[in-house]
Chains A and B, each alone.
Chain A
Amino acid sequence: PVVGPCRAAFPRWFFNRHVLEQLKLRDRVQRHAFEEIVHQYNRLLEKADLQAVLSERYQSDKYDAPRPHDGSAGS
């Protein structure tokens, strides 16, 4: 069926303002509520990764190149 156009019932500023308000509300729920906690979590993740790398390196150092006094400490 052919559908006739309906007239825009509101002036430009009205739907413009409606869209802006909706976008602000959306950002509050979806963006701002999570920004800080995601940032903090990722920092923790980086630290945990760094720790894993460091302890791995420490382990391999211990086995690859034992320092002289390590021998006496081990027995």
Chain B
Amino acid sequence: MADDKDVLRDVWYGRIPACFTLHQDEVTEREAEPYYLLLPRVSYLTLVTDKVKKHFLKVMRAEDVEEMWFEYEGTPLKWHYPIGVLFDLHGSNSILPWSITVHFKNFPERDLLHCLSNSVIEAHFMSSIKEADALKHKSQVVNDMQKKDHKQLWMGLQNDKFDQFWAINRKLMEYSTEDGGFRYIPFRIYQTTGERPFIQKLFRPLSAEGAVHTLGDLLREMYPAAVPQEGEEKRLLVVIHGIEPLLETPVQWLSEHLSHPDNFLHICVVPTPSD
């Protein structure tokens, strides 16, 4: 279906305009101009910010430079979440471009994982894909793949090659017609408050009676407050890739079309903007 391919493309090529500025406590030899970048929603901060690093290193002395990390309004940004999730969760109520602060010292050990090379990101990405396939197909598809297929998934993401990535990823999205969907839907629900970083439980695309489960069904079970009751004012938005899909959308379709390249459906529940 042509429309479905369009959805996949639009999801892949989503961008967020960002303005990077150096934190005031960083010592520089001369003034550092801000750096602007269109960030790919489906990628990872530490994978796409080589130019940001290079730009700010020019004004710094080598001895003042430790591992680079990012922060938005006091919140350290977890590089192991996709960029689109970070923005939808923390920055979607902010004025564009998204204003990110760059640090080279005082790494927040409690909040962030270290990321000293792209192989760390690759390992994280591949483990997400494997976890998703364990849920979808009891790991059968990912285990049947060859090493070069795994590499192609990663290179597709790293080099922003939609066709290269989907040539392999479509195998991870297949299911038999008699099953009517995946075994379980790989999803994570993020919220700005609460002690848990995200909600992740087992959820099937179809009910025991064979009825289609929708996004509304998923939320009613996992996060009832996100679905307003009859006559109640909407206080929370359910956001995937920067948009609000209809609550009537089947979760199976969402999983196939609005998942991130790591094969998870990342769902952000955020307060409605107050004006």
What size tier do the contact residues of chain B reach? 35 or more
Contact A15 B207 (CB under 8 A): no
A73 CB-CB contact with B under 8 Å: no
What size tier do the contact residues of chain A reach? 35 or more
Q: What 0/1 readout, one digit per residue, does chain A (28-39) give for beta carbons within 8 Å of chain B?
A: 011101110010
Known: A31-B13, A38-B36, A45-B33. 4 other contacts (CB 8 A): A5-B211, A16-B253, A34-B97, A45-B35
B96 CB-CB contact with A under 8 Å: yes
Residues in A whose Cβ lies below 8 Å from that of B33? 45, 48
Majority DSSP secondary structure for residues of B touching A? mixed
**A52–B96 Cα gap in the complex (Å)?**
30
List residues 129-187 of chain B with CB under 8 A from any CB of chain A.
none
B275 CB-CB contact with A under 8 Å: no
B242 CB-CB contact with A under 8 Å: yes
Contact B16 A18 (CB under 8 A): no
Listed A/B pairs (22) with beta-carbon separation below 8 Å: A3-B220, A5-B207, A5-B214, A5-B217, A6-B248, A14-B246, A15-B245, A16-B253, A18-B246, A20-B6, A20-B7, A20-B10, A23-B243, A26-B242, A27-B13, A30-B14, A30-B96, A31-B14, A34-B36, A34-B96, A41-B36, A45-B33
